[in-house]
Amino acid sequence: MTLEQHIKGAIESATAQLSGRLQERLQALAVEVSQAAAAEHERALEEAVSTARAQFASEHDAAMSALRAEAAGQRELAVSMARAEAAERLAAAAAERESTLAALRNELAAEHDAALAALRADLTAQHDAALALIRSESDAQHESALAAIRGELAAQHDAALEALQSDAAGQRESALTALRMEMTSYHDSALSEAIAAAVAATRAESSSAHEAALAAVQAEASARHDDALAALRAEVARERDGLAASIRSEQAAEHAAALAALRAEADERVARVRAESDDRLAHATAEADELLAHVRADAEQRLEAARKEAEELLARAQADADLRLVAARAEAERDLARSIDAAKADAAVESSRSIIDARVSERAGESAFGDRIVDATRRLDLARSLTEILDVLVEAASREVPRVAVFLLRGDTLKGWRAAGFGRDDDPRDVEVPLDRAGLLGKAVRSGRAVSSTDEPVSITGGAPFGALPAANAGLAIPLRVGGEPVAVLYADDVSAKEHQSPGVWPEAIEVLARHGARCLEVVTVSRVTQPVTVPARSTPNPAQRRYTPQGRGFQPDHDDDDDAARRYARLLVSEVKLYHEAAVTAGRRDRNLLERLRSEIERARRLYIERVPPAILARTDYFDQELVRTLANGDAALLGRA
């Protein structure tokens, strides 16, 4: 059996195996879809019933709460009305009591003022009458005293005058007698003259003496009269003042006694009025309490009536709601039965449609999958270098799985080469890891078979060297073997930013591509070593003969013009230099001496290029130097340095 037949057989067996797995999974998917549709319909019906029940319950609760609120409002209204009425009656009773007390106070004040005014008038009249009586009595006593004093003085004056007159008459008679007796012894003429002169002198002397005595008596009597009158007046004034003081003290005592009696009477009246007002207030308070009790009893009766009415309304509403709920349940059950029947019919139709759609999708998926596998196989067959094979392998695998990477094995180290689907933070091309710490990749290299993260525990596989896989994702590492020895590892996983779907057939597809890519690497390597290099002439390709056939490694136009073929061949040679001497390429870029470090490899590749490219093309353009700048130096000719 030729290599091509072996590859075809492997592809057909893998395709058949994949088709069988796809058929089984699509059938299981159809059953799951029908079951999911039925379950979804049942859930929808349950949700509808629960929604209806919740709606009825909410309506019932709303009606009950509305009735409770209405009953509470009526109760609060009745209580507030009763309280307002009681407050109004209490306010009216208090106002009436205050008005009664004010009237009583005003009446008592008026009576007290009138009694005090009458008492003052009476006391004033009595005081004036007493003063008038005292004045009249004192005047009468004064007049009588004056009359008595005048009579006494007149009597004393008369007695004194009489005594003086009698004394003067006696003295005169005695003097006359003496003179007469003396004159008798004298001569009659002298005696008579002397007697006449003596008599005249006596008369004059007696008259003057009498007048002097009378004046003295009058003066003394007048002085005594004045002194007696003054003393009498002083004594009368003292007696009058004492009498007035005693009268005043008696009147003050009487006034105080009368005032005390009036005050006692007024206090007694005030006490009686207060007692009467207290009695009236107590009576008014009792009436107000009785009225308040009556109002409270009335309010409680109204409240009880309102509560009973609310309970009746609530009972009727609850009964109505229960009837509606029963009717709604019956209607919902009928609708549910109809919906279940319709759902069963729809599910049957939908299931048949789903099965048909699944079969159509299965056919379309199988067709698309087969087309992708066949296209990838053809592209791998047409690849003419190791680099091109690996590039095609990564691109084809990236169509089946979100993330793909190729690692080259260099001794005991794995170095990232190509990748697709990774971000900048976890780019495998920047990874270089020892084989014993490569995790899943190292396990695949050591075992020589495909290793999946779902087949080995994480503690054994260790995950990928560029990060652990999430629990819901799977990774696959497949060694690429040439001549029985692993030269690279193809890694793939289903980690994606999109929602994770159920596992597909991508592991089988990746394994098929990896095995065919390894066979292509073997063929290219063997042909490069064993077969001579030829430059075939341009020919028209036959689409029916595009299958891979082993042939010598060399410059191939690949159905384009010679310049494009020469450019691709130069790129192939320079890429192989870069592939197998990656460390030297990195150091040469760093030190800017790529030509010096890779002198022998570049000269060998240049000889191959010159030997296999037609001279006309060599004379026209040097594609090899262009590829040295583009591929090795990353477009910077200064990195090549001097040879």
Same domain, 95 and 65: yes
DSSP-assigned letter for residue 402: S
Cα separation, 408 vs 421, whole angstroms? 18
Number of folded domains that form the chain:
3
- What backbone torsions phi and psi does residue 100 show, to the nearest 5 degrees? -65, -45
The pLDDT of residue 593: 94
Q: How many CB atoms lie within 10 A of CB 245?
A: 10
Distance of CA 8 to the CA centre of its chain: 74
Q: Is residue 623 part of a domain?
A: yes
Query: What is the bridge-based pairing of β-strands 413-420 and 403-410?
Result: antiparallel
Higher pLDDT, 1 or 308: 308
Same domain, 605 and 461: no
Residues whose CB is less than 8 angstroms from the CB of residue 602 and which lie 6 or more positions away in sequence, other chains included:
577, 595, 628
Q: Residue 128 pLDDT more than 80?
A: yes
Of the residues 329, 364, 399, which one is the last residue of a structural domain?
364
The pLDDT of residue 49: 59
Structure tokens at 273: 């009025």
Among 426, 365, 414, 369, smallest CA distance to 396 is for 369
DSSP-assigned letter for residue 467: B
Cα separation, 347 vs 34, whole angstroms? 7
Higher pLDDT, 513 or 282: 513
Q: Is residue 449 part of a domain?
A: yes
Same domain, 337 and 308: yes
User: If you average pLDDT over each of 85-89, 538-542, 567-571, which comes out highest?
Assistant: 567-571
CB 507 within 8 A of CB 21: no
Question: What DSSP string runs through 190-235?
Answer: HHHHHHHHHHHHHHHHHHHHHHHHHHHHHHHHHHHHHHHHHHHHHH
Structure tokens at 480: 């690429």
Same domain, 475 and 598: no
User: If you average pLDDT over each of 360-364, 432-436, 557-561, which comes out highest?
Assistant: 432-436
Question: What DSSP string runs through 72-100?
Answer: HHHHHHHHHHHHHHHHHHHHHHHHHHHHH
Cα separation, 13 vs 516, whole angstroms? 13
pLDDT band of residue 73 (cuts 50, 70, 90) is: confident
The pLDDT of residue 459: 44
CB 463 within 8 A of CB 493: no
Three-state SS annotation for 234-274: HHHHHHHHHHHHHHHHHHHHHHHHHHHHHHHHHHHHHHHHH
Higher pLDDT, 28 or 286: 286
The pLDDT of residue 226: 81
Q: What is the pLDDT of residues 274-329, one digit of tens each?
A: 888 688 878 867 886 888 788 688 868 887 887 888 688 878 867 886 888 788 67
Same domain, 338 and 436: no
Q: Residue 564 pLDDT more than 60?
A: yes
CB 362 within 8 A of CB 22: yes
Which contiguous run of DSSP H or E holds residue 460? helix 458-461
pTM of the model: 0.35
Percent of the chain with pLDDT over 70: 72
Cα separation, 384 vs 565, whole angstroms? 12
CB 149 within 8 A of CB 232: yes
Same domain, 505 and 422: yes
Burial of 394 (0-12, 13-18, 19+ CB in 10 A): buried
Q: Is residue 312 part of a domain?
A: yes
pLDDT band of residue 556 (cuts 50, 70, 90) is: very low
Q: Residue 189 pLDDT more than 80?
A: no
Q: What is the pLDDT of residues 325-343, one digit of tens each?
A: 788 678 867 877 786 777 6
Q: Tell me which residue has tokens 């759609």.
A: 357
Which contiguous run of DSSP H or E holds residue 188? helix 188-382
Instruction: Identify the sign of the CA torsion 382, 386, 388, 390.
Output: positive
CB 485 within 8 A of CB 524: no
Q: Is residue 328 part of a domain?
A: yes
The pLDDT of residue 370: 81
Same domain, 32 and 72: yes
The pLDDT of residue 478: 94
User: Mean pLDDT over residues 59-74, rounded?
Assistant: 73
The pLDDT of residue 315: 82
Higher pLDDT, 348 or 318: 318
When the pLDDT of each residue in the chain is averaged and rounded to a whole number, the result is: 76
The pLDDT of residue 68: 76
Same domain, 415 and 341: no
Q: How far is CA 460 from CA 465, 495, 608, in A?
A: 13, 20, 46
Length of the chain: 643
CB 14 within 8 A of CB 508: yes
Percent of the chain with pLDDT over 90: 16
Lowest mean pLDDT among 23-37, 107-121, 390-404, 532-546: 532-546
Same domain, 510 and 407: yes
Provide the CATH number for the domain around residue 503: 3.30.450.40
Q: Residue 129 pLDDT more than 80?
A: yes
The pLDDT of residue 539: 35
Q: Residue 392 pLDDT more than 50?
A: yes
The pLDDT of residue 544: 33
What are the residues facing 475 on neighbouring strands? 493
Structure tokens at 251: 């009147």
Among 469, 466, 467, 483, smallest CA distance to 414 is for 466
3-state secondary structure of 432: strand
Cα separation, 99 vs 25, whole angstroms? 104
Q: How far is CA 203 from CA 164, 173, 486, 574, 632, in A?
A: 15, 11, 212, 211, 205
- What backbone torsions phi and psi does residue 540 show, to the nearest 5 degrees? -85, 120
CB 199 within 8 A of CB 176: yes
DSSP-assigned letter for residue 51: H
Lowest mean pLDDT among 176-190, 484-498, 516-530, 542-556: 542-556
pLDDT band of residue 133 (cuts 50, 70, 90) is: confident
Cα separation, 299 vs 195, whole angstroms? 145
Q: Is residue 540 part of a domain?
A: no
Q: Is residue 335 part of a domain?
A: yes
Same domain, 350 and 263: yes
Of the residues 529, 564, 589, which one is the last residue of a structural domain?
529
Q: How many CB atoms lie within 10 A of CB 221?
A: 18
Q: Is residue 174 part of a domain?
A: no
Structure tokens at 232: 């009498």
Q: Which domain holds residue 415?
A: 383-529
Angle at alpha carbon of residue 384, lines to 380 and 386, rounded to 5°: 80
Of the residues 478, 511, 529, which one is the last residue of a structural domain?
529
Q: Is residue 201 part of a domain?
A: no
pLDDT band of residue 224 (cuts 50, 70, 90) is: confident
3-state secondary structure of 546: coil
Higher pLDDT, 607 or 294: 607
Same domain, 4 and 132: yes
- Which amino acid belongs to residue 148? A
Same domain, 569 and 492: no
Residues whose CB is less than 8 angstroms from the CB of residue 413 and which lie 6 or more positions away in sequence, other chains included:
432, 433, 434, 435
User: If you average pLDDT over each of 166-180, 280-294, 514-528, which comes out highest?
Assistant: 514-528
Q: Residue 586 pLDDT more than 90?
A: yes
